[in-house]
Chain A
Amino acid sequence: MALRKVVYNVTRNPELAAGGSLVHAPVIPVEGESYEVHEDIAGEHMLINIGPQHPATHGVLRLVLELDGETVVRCIPHIGYLHSSFEKLGEYRDWNQVIPLTDRMDYLAPLIYNCAYAMAVEKLMGVEVTERCRVVRVICMELDRIFSHLLWLGTTAIDLGAFTVFLYTFQQRELIYDLHERYTGARITTTATRIGGMMADLPSGWIEQLNAFLDGFPRVLDEVETLLTHNAIWIGRTQGVGVISGEDAVNFGLSGANLRASGVDYDIRKDRPYYDYDSYDFDVPVGEHGDIYDRYLCRMEEMRQSVRLLRQAIERLPGGPINVDDPRVILPSKTAAMNDMESMIHHFKVVMEGVRAPVGESWFSVESSKGELGMYVVSDGGSKPVRWRVRGPSFINIAALPHMIEGALLSDVIAVNASLDIVLGEIDR
């Protein structure tokens, strides 16, 4: 029986809280109406431009800030510098050919995007994947949750001056890169799923390699915690910074750890379970203050829970075929295609015409590392999507950035932006 969600009460550092001044970064409230442009502000306020080429914006994000001294009066984000028109390109490709586009959106957790897209299309087509495929996809998604959270941890820490953490996390990411490479042949652009299954079964020895990673990883995470969790600088830069209330977070559509750090208990793996997530034993950490520190604690705990999930998935990994036995969607084996007529016809049709989906549509979402990743596919019965829409979690999370930083200090802009865990490939699409 799965445990119900546990609320982790975030404990503030007691020694420092008694002293007071170190715990909270000073936030200077802006008096009066900060939204109006007043004629008499000339010479007092200043307009500055951060990005699009700036290492601390985590991609090609551009922020135009109106400053009063060091206080941010107004923040206007500009996006689109990486726009590649993926959704339009998808309409010119058949259902399987869209998969390479999905991992180029979020290159920090490519397998989650591959899986989410395949799951949406399979739901539309009514294809039930095999038991082994379900568990392999859970392994892929949880592995990439760690993969993405590690990058978030490293880059956020380096933005706030903690260089060591960056090295530790990237060392661990390298091991996941190796796992990607060994399974899919690519380190970032994995393209691992197909409609109805995976591109291949797990190679021999892969699970052992994954186990070796899982043995070493929690120790590194503990080490990172000793560097950050009770670190006075880290606490000073993160506690009480970038606060958003639970009600506002829901209204802004935040999802993932950003929403849960504000105390809203919404995780798709629990609330709309897919792939038997309800039969795994794991907890969802929920914060209460909605600041950067709580987002940090939530993500750290999520990585530990992902390790638990991975261990359970490895234990229950069944044998059997990885692809569905359905010649409409899956290529026959090479031997069969070369030796019997029917298989050759299927091979020809699947390659030349592509897989066909029935008329209809499906909006399917999974809990990605960054939040709710929705895939909306619309079909008119052909072999290409009429519309393929991605509800990118970063796109909606970053839209709340001005709300979180207006009234804060310029240096907090970098911290808050880093804490939201964005990836511009998916924001700009």
Chain B
Amino acid sequence: MSNGEAFKKGLEGLDQGPAPSEPAAPGIPPPAGELPPHPGVDALRREFGEAVLRHELTAGDEHIVYVRPERALEMLGWLRDAPEHRYDFLQDLTCVDYGGGREIQVVWQLWSVRHKRNLRVKAELPLDALEVDSVYGLWRAADWLEREAYDMFGVVFRGHPDLRRILMPYNYAEGHPLRKDFPLRGRFSRAEQTRRALSMRTEDHYSPLELQIAELLNQPLPDVIVEGGPGVPEQGMMPGVGGGG
């Protein structure tokens, strides 16, 4: 490629600037025949009609179907159980926040082990109603994935038996970190964050269920962080423990 051609090609990509992130006409399903058909989406349309909002194709071959959040559980259950679809493997469950007051998307990424097909199902939740039914009953894989989505985005999964924070500490009070309105450094000052970290009590390391068990067993909670004391090696004497895999 000559330099002139390369220059032109480069300018095409570089000087376009960010394109608008709003889809052209949200909410309107494209006319049939415009997209390559996906058996799962077509069947959902037949079975659930109105509840299928729109169908998109992205990155060449990835099908996304947007559904009404209040019927998502029903539709996902149907996709899992219908013998001609059998999306029995929940690859991923996560959320996307575009910021700027837009809805938060809940994403279910499905795979059918038998039919070797992918489908991505999305539901959009307005910021003032971040609730959707849990799919814990369909896929146990959703257990921790929903807890993570709750922890990071504040989306409440109705019917999850044990919805509590998973990556952040149980007494974390700064909000949900992966939301776009959450500053990178956190909401509290560094001094306040340090103070809170140092003042954690033993109970703060345990879930409500564990506290309940300990009480029923009439047993003191085992210390998680042992500070000094006779026979306890100082922290730092065993560097690398815990990091080696």
Contact = CB atoms under 8 A, between A and B. Distances in A.
B32 interface: no
A343 B21 contact: no
B127 to A, nearest CB: 16
A15 interface: no
Interface in A42-69: 42-43, 45-49, 52-55, 57-60, 62, 64, 66
Interface string B129-159: 0000000000111011100100010000000
Nearest to A80: B167
B205 A374 contact: no
B144 A399 contact: yes
A272 interface: yes
B173 interface: no
Interface string A74-98: 1010111001010111001000000
A54 B109 CA distance: 35
A372 B218 CA distance: 43
Given A80-B166, A363-B109, A423-B245, A380 B98 contact: yes
B62 A362 contact: yes
Contacts of B107: 376
B167 A79 contact: yes
Nearest to A252: B140
Interface in B157-180: 165-169, 177-178
A253 B148 CA distance: 15
A151 B1 CA distance: 45
A325 interface: yes
Interface residues of B, number: 76
A358 B19 contact: yes
B217 A386 contact: no
Contacts, number: 207
A78 B205 CA distance: 9
Contacts of B143: 399
Interface string A265-288: 010000110000000000000000
B113 A37 contact: no
B28 interface: no
Contact of B178 (A76, A87, A381): A87
A359 interface: yes
Given A252-B141, A253-B141, A343 B19 contact: no
Contacts of A380: 18-19, 21, 98
A215 interface: no
Contacts of A362: 58-59, 62
Most buried by A among B14, B145, B177: B14
Nearest to A151: B245
Contact of B89 (A37, A52, A253): A253
Interface in B213-237: 213-214, 216-219, 221-224
Contacts of B19: 358-359, 380-381
A92 B109 contact: no
B241 interface: yes
A64 B139 contact: no
Contact of B217 (A45, A83, A88, A376): A45
A346 B64 CA distance: 35
Contact of B168 (A83, A356, A396): A83
A80 B59 contact: no
Contacts of A124: 59
B14 A356 contact: yes
Contacts of B212: 37
B141 A47 contact: no
Interface stretch (A1-9, A234-242, A312-320, A387-395): A387-395
A250 B242 contact: no
A225 interface: no
A100 interface: no
A387 B97 contact: yes
A429 B9 CA distance: 37
Nearest to A402: B143
A342 B167 contact: no
Contacts of A54: 242
A257 to B, nearest CB: 16
Interface residues of A, number: 89
A342 B6 contact: yes
B89 A46 contact: no
A364 B118 CA distance: 11
A386 B221 contact: no
Nearest to B226: A53
Contacts of B209: 76
Contact of B9 (A272, A328, A359, A360): A328
B13 A356 contact: yes
Given A80-B169, A342-B3, A49 B94 contact: no
B242 A53 contact: yes
A328 B242 contact: no
B10 interface: yes
Contacts of A49: 222-224
A88 B14 CA distance: 25
Given A79-B167, A374-B109, A391-B92, A64 B58 contact: no
B99 to A, nearest CB: 8
B207 interface: yes
A360 B59 contact: yes
Nearest to A328: B13
Q: Pick the 10 closest A-B CB pairs, nearest first.
A: A253-B141, A380-B21, A328-B13, A381-B19, A327-B10, A362-B59, A49-B222, A342-B7, A80-B167, A381-B18
Given A88-B182, A340-B3, A386-B96, 16 more contacts: A45-B217, A52-B224, A76-B210, A80-B169, A88-B177, A123-B60, A328-B13, A363-B120, A374-B109, A376-B92, A376-B94, A381-B21, A391-B92, A399-B144, A424-B242, A428-B167
7 contacts: A37-B212, A39-B216, A55-B241, A328-B13, A361-B59, A363-B118, A386-B21
Interface of B: 1, 3-4, 6-7, 9-10, 12-14, 16-21, 58-60, 62, 64, 88-92, 94, 96-99, 107, 109, 113, 116, 118, 120, 139-141, 143-145, 148, 152, 165-169, 177-178, 182, 184, 205-207, 209-210, 212-214, 216-219, 221-224, 238, 241-245
